[in-house]
Amino acid sequence: MNGISSAPLLRDATLERPAAPSRELAARRETCLACKVRGRTICAAVPEAAIDRMALVKLPPRRLPAGAVVYAEQDGCTECFTVLEGWVALTAALEDGGRVVLDFALPGDYFGFQANPDAPRPQSAVAVTAVRLCPLPRGRMQPLVGTDAAVAKHLSHLIAMHEARAHDHLINNASRDAHGRIAHLLIELYFRQRHRLPAIPDETIDLPLTLALIGEAVGLTPVHVSRSLRRLREERVLRLHRGRLLIIDPEALIRASGVDDRPLADATIPS
Summarised one tens digit per residue, pLDDT across range 141-161 is 888 888 889 989 999 999 988
Give the chain's mean pLDDT: 87
Give backbone dihedrals phi and psi of 18, rounded to 5 degrees, phi first: -60, 135
Residue 106: Cβ within 10 Å count: 19
Rounded Cα–Cα distance for residues 127 and 107 (Å): 12
Half-sphere exposure of 129 (CA within 13 A, CB side): 17
Rounded Cα–Cα distance for residues 93 and 38 (Å): 31
In which region does residue 265 sit, left (phi positive, over 0), alpha (psi from -120 to 50) or beta (all else)? Answer: beta
Percentage, residues of the chain above pLDDT 90 = 61
The distance in angstroms from the start CA to the end CA of the chain is 36
Residue 39: Cβ within 10 Å count: 11
In which region does residue 127 sit, left (phi positive, over 0), alpha (psi from -120 to 50) or beta (all else)? Answer: beta
Domain positions in the chain: 22-147, 175-257
Are 36 and 106 in contact by the 8 Å Cβ rule? The answer is: no
* pLDDT, position 94: 93
Task: Give the architecture-level CATH label for domain 22-147.
Answer: Sandwich (2.60)
Task: Give the architecture-level CATH label for domain 175-257.
Answer: Orthogonal Bundle (1.10)
- Per-residue pLDDT of the chain in tens (271 residues, 90 and over written 9): 444 333 343 334 443 445 556 788 788 888 888 899 988 888 888 888 888 888 888 888 999 999 999 999 999 989 999 999 999 999 999 988 899 999 999 999 999 998 888 899 999 999 999 999 999 998 888 888 888 899 899 999 999 889 999 999 999 999 999 999 999 999 999 999 998 999 999 999 999 999 999 999 999 999 999 999 999 999 999 999 989 999 999 999 999 998 876 677 655 555 4
DSSP bridge pairs for 241: 244
* pLDDT, position 269: 52
* pLDDT, position 216: 97
Strands of the sheet with 62-64, listed across from one edge: 62-64, 131-137, 79-85, 110-111
Q: How far apart, in Å, are the Cα atoms of 146 and each of 116, 141, 150, 160?
A: 15, 9, 10, 18
* pLDDT, position 266: 59
Are 28 and 20 in contact by the 8 Å Cβ rule? The answer is: yes
